[in-house]
Amino acid sequence: MRASCVAASAGLPASVVANLVAGLVVASTASAQMAPVASRSVPIGIVSGDAQVLVAERNATPASQRAINELSEQELTADTVVWADVVDVPDAAWLRLYFKDVTLSGDAATQSGAYLRITSLLDGHTQKLNAESLKQWNNSSAYFNGDRVLVEIISAAANAPARVTIDRADAGEAPVMQGGYGPRSICGTTDDRALSSDPKNARHMPVGCTSWLINDTNKQFLLAGHCNPVSGNVFQFNVPLSTSTGATVNPSPDDQYVVDLSSKQSQNIAIGQDWCYIGVLANSNHGLTPAQKMGGGTYILASTPPAVAGQTIRITGFGTTSSPVSNTWNQAQKTHTGPYRTFSGTSLTYSVDTTGGNSGSPVEDLSTGRAIGIHTNAGCTSTAGTANSGTGINNAALQTALANPLGVCSTGRGTPVTGRLYAGTDAANNYGTVNATTGAFAKFGQFMGTLQGMAFDRDNQWIYAIDNSRRLHTISPTTGVTTLKGTVTGTTLTLNGLGYDPNTNRLYAIAQSNGQLFTINTGTLVATAIGTASGGIIGALEFNPADNTLYGINDPSSTLVSSRLVRINTTTGAVTSVSSAIINGVRDCNGLAWDQTDGKLYTIDTTTRNLIRIEPSTGAGTVVAACNGLFGTGSGMTAVQSRPPCPADFNGDGFLDFTDFDGFVAAFEAGSGAGDFNNDGFIDFTDFDAYVAAFEAGC
């Protein structure tokens, strides 16, 4: 009998929840197949103190002090260790750390942000966690092999406070292998499962279940409802063989992903009513989603299980083992095939070998290559004809959840709109369009990593986009095709915002860490600083050709200040505030777009996910609507613009009038590059005469 038969209905419509409660039953003939990994909780209690400078930590443990002594002569630059210590739990097979009282100063989107670096001293596998990703991981780490883990605080700013308390650790142990643990459901007298390495399957830790990638909008996961993912649970890919004693061995943190609990929808009532639909967040080390990292493959869902007609079923998952099967196969990926037995209502049965740890595995119909259900329960014995069972993909509540995704499963879902506003990347690395009326964000393409800024080039009709590694790309707003131009040189700073001046064909960029403005030569990809760094936290940038002004959004460095619109001098880099606040309380806006249609600026508040319209002249913002995109510290915005109908339309607003003439005169008198109307490299009266002639000729 199943150990936990409760309704877990997060995110389902009220009518569905009512039906689940009303129909509560308990399975009495089969057992759920979870296999929680063997571990113990160990108190740690290591406190870093305020690690502002390397030599300031004088209360370090011997291991920490040795690290400090070795590094004390280093100059405090990017990626400098300001504190280090070793967590040592003798004889642990693996460790997972839990933190509290964490301060990681600086902006997570920039190189100035402090972060934790955690390294296994057994195999050298490393995880990086900044303020944003540590919150996503619920103040915990990935799983690390061995009994000793080095924890370091890395900071680029000597006077930026950073501290952490390592509260406790989960320490892996060898399981009791007599007969295996968890329900054994081998169909016949021998365990016929074979080792496999399907990149679509993941091990659910620490619960000991199986999850798998599906073909929904963002290639997220199905598993069993009784596996009940909670905050901080981890899905692992590329799982190695276990130790000779059966203790689990973990893959690199590059192959570990934390669940997004806000996306969870599930049901756990009885056989045929046992499922979970959930997503995970991009990896904290490389920024890719599981499908991106694993090659993009997913299981294709059938619309309904077929009638039984001699089909063969495959079950692939991370089940336990018992003698004579090797302990090293315990909770490593294995697969087996066998006959499809029954389909009734939303329940399936099949004679395919499984054990504890297989709960959640895909039930794959090999005749179609489609996933027709979720494996949930044991039932096979050595008696011929017995079967294991699962939930059919036709379960109505499951279908309702798939049609109404939440969290990271939902971001970017919808139909892209024509033109206007574009944004990217969201929590699933999507870029796409934003509806200027409804705020809806619709996936248009997927980027391999995190974008920091976007800007539209109306002459070439493409979007410039820059990522965390300063790689500059172009994106077609009509096809979504992304082309890498190369890596920007001339600075080592992360460039977090882009703006493009179509009058001078200049691409601007800004470093959010210190407010330094740059121009990027789009041919050579060399960044050149303009003036001196202005300070502030400016990560959103956009050029408005209507008033010939470069705008930015300065996010607050104090809890008492809201984000505000600023103007940036393209000659000196000087920053002038337009207003004290876009909207009081709005504090994190990482993209900015100028819409040629209405002449307004747009941004997205990443905290509330509201699309905000901004009046350029006053800096005042108005909430348009909630945006369904999940945007974080890495994101950008821009807007598509049409080419001006004639050169004399200086501000590109589609009309030729004296605002164009005044705009040219102002640029000419200021010696701005926009005043070089004939593009000969000089600003003189030949430019003035050429503009007057074009203006008089009309459009």
Instruction: Give pLDDT tens digits for 13-43.
Output: 433 333 333 333 333 346 888 999 999 999 9
pLDDT for the residue numbered 47:
93
64 or 309, higher pLDDT: 309
pLDDT for the residue numbered 558:
62
For residues 454 and 466, give the distance between their C-alpha atoms in angstroms, rounded to a whole number.
7
Specify the amino acid at residue 210. T
pLDDT tens string 92-144: 999 999 999 998 887 776 656 789 999 999 999 999 999 999 999 999 999 99
pLDDT for the residue numbered 157:
60
Specify the amino acid at residue 403. A
Specify the amino acid at residue 174. A
The whole-number average pLDDT for the span 412-438 is 91
Which segments of 295-422 does DSSP mark as H helices, in order? 396-403
Could you tell me which residues are beta bridge partners of residue 509? Answer: 498, 518
pLDDT for the residue numbered 670:
87
Q: Is residue 94 within 8 Å of 248, Cβ to Cβ?
A: yes
pLDDT for the residue numbered 236:
98
pLDDT for the residue numbered 456:
96
Q: Is residue 591 within 8 Å of 421, Cβ to Cβ?
A: no
The DSSP call for residue 696 is H
- pLDDT-derived band at 44 (thresholds 50, 70, 90) equals very high
Q: What angle do CA 471, 604, 623 make, to 5 degrees?
A: 165
CB within 8 A of 683, min separation 6: which ones? 668, 671, 672, 673, 675, 676
**Nearest CA among 225, 260, 269, 256 for reference residue 360:** 225
Q: How many CB atoms lie within 10 A of CB 403?
A: 8
Is the pLDDT at 181 greater than 70? The verdict is: no
For residues 23 and 15, give the distance between their C-alpha atoms in angstroms, rounded to a whole number.
12
Is the pLDDT at 337 greater than 90? The verdict is: yes
pLDDT for the residue numbered 331:
96
3-state secondary structure 568-624: ECCCCCCEEECCCCCCCCCCCECCCEEECCCCEEEEEECCCCEEEEECCCCCCEEEE
For residues 167 and 155, give the distance between their C-alpha atoms in angstroms, rounded to a whole number.
21
Is the pLDDT at 221 greater than 90? The verdict is: yes
* φ, ψ dihedrals at 131, nearest 5°: -60, -40
Percent of the residues in the chain that have a pLDDT greater than 70, as a whole number:
88
Tokens representing residue 625 in the block: 């609507």
Is the pLDDT at 5 greater than 50? The verdict is: no
Percent of the residues in the chain that have a pLDDT greater than 90, as a whole number:
70
pLDDT tens string 227-239: 999 999 999 999 9
Tokens representing residue 423 in the block: 């944004």
Provide DSSP, 230-271.
-TT-EEE-SPPP--TT-------GGGEEEEEEEEEEEEEEET
**Nearest CA among 34, 95, 26, 106 for reference residue 511:** 106
- pLDDT-derived band at 560 (thresholds 50, 70, 90) equals low
pLDDT for the residue numbered 21:
34
Q: Is residue 666 within 8 Å of 657, Cβ to Cβ?
A: no
* φ, ψ dihedrals at 695, nearest 5°: -65, -45
Is the pLDDT at 66 greater than 80? The verdict is: no
**Nearest CA among 264, 186, 174, 183 for reference residue 225:** 264
Helical (H) or strand (E) element with 136: helix 131-136
Strands 370-377 and 300-301: parallel
Tokens representing residue 685 in the block: 């009266």
Strands 354-355 and 347-350: unpaired
pLDDT for the residue numbered 557:
75
* φ, ψ dihedrals at 567, nearest 5°: -105, 140
The whole-number average pLDDT for the span 450-472 is 93
Q: Is residue 261 within 8 Å of 237, Cβ to Cβ?
A: no
- pLDDT-derived band at 79 (thresholds 50, 70, 90) equals low
- Note the residue count of the chain: 699
Q: Is residue 551 within 8 Å of 616, Cβ to Cβ?
A: yes
Rg for the chain (alpha carbons), in Å? Answer: 29
pLDDT for the residue numbered 179:
41
For the chain, list the domains and their CATH numbers: 14-37+182-403 (2.40.10.120), 40-172 (2.60.120), 411-639 (2.120.10.30), 658-697 (no CATH)
Write the burial class of residue 461 (CB in 10 Å: 0-12 exposed, 13-18 middle, 19+ buried). Answer: middle
- Tokens 């934390």: give the residue: 258
Query: What's the order of all strands across the beta sheet hosting 610-614?
Result: 593-595, 600-605, 610-614, 621-626
The whole-number average pLDDT for the span 258-270 is 97
pTM across the whole model: 0.85
Q: How many CB atoms lie within 10 A of CB 527?
A: 23
449 or 352, higher pLDDT: 352
Query: Residue 368's Cα: distance from chain center in Å?
Result: 32
The whole-number average pLDDT for the span 447-455 is 92
For residues 70 and 65, give the distance between their C-alpha atoms in angstroms, rounded to a whole number.
9
Specify the amino acid at residue 150. L
Q: How many CB atoms lie within 10 A of CB 124?
A: 10
- pLDDT-derived band at 10 (thresholds 50, 70, 90) equals very low
For residues 550 and 557, give the distance between their C-alpha atoms in angstroms, rounded to a whole number.
22
Strands 221-223 and 234-236: unpaired
**Nearest CA among 563, 203, 256, 262 for reference residue 405:** 262
pLDDT for the residue numbered 56:
34
pLDDT tens string 572-597: 999 999 989 999 999 889 999 999 99
Q: Report in angstroms the alpha-carbon separations of 647 from 168, 244, 673, 674, 696.
A: 66, 75, 15, 12, 12
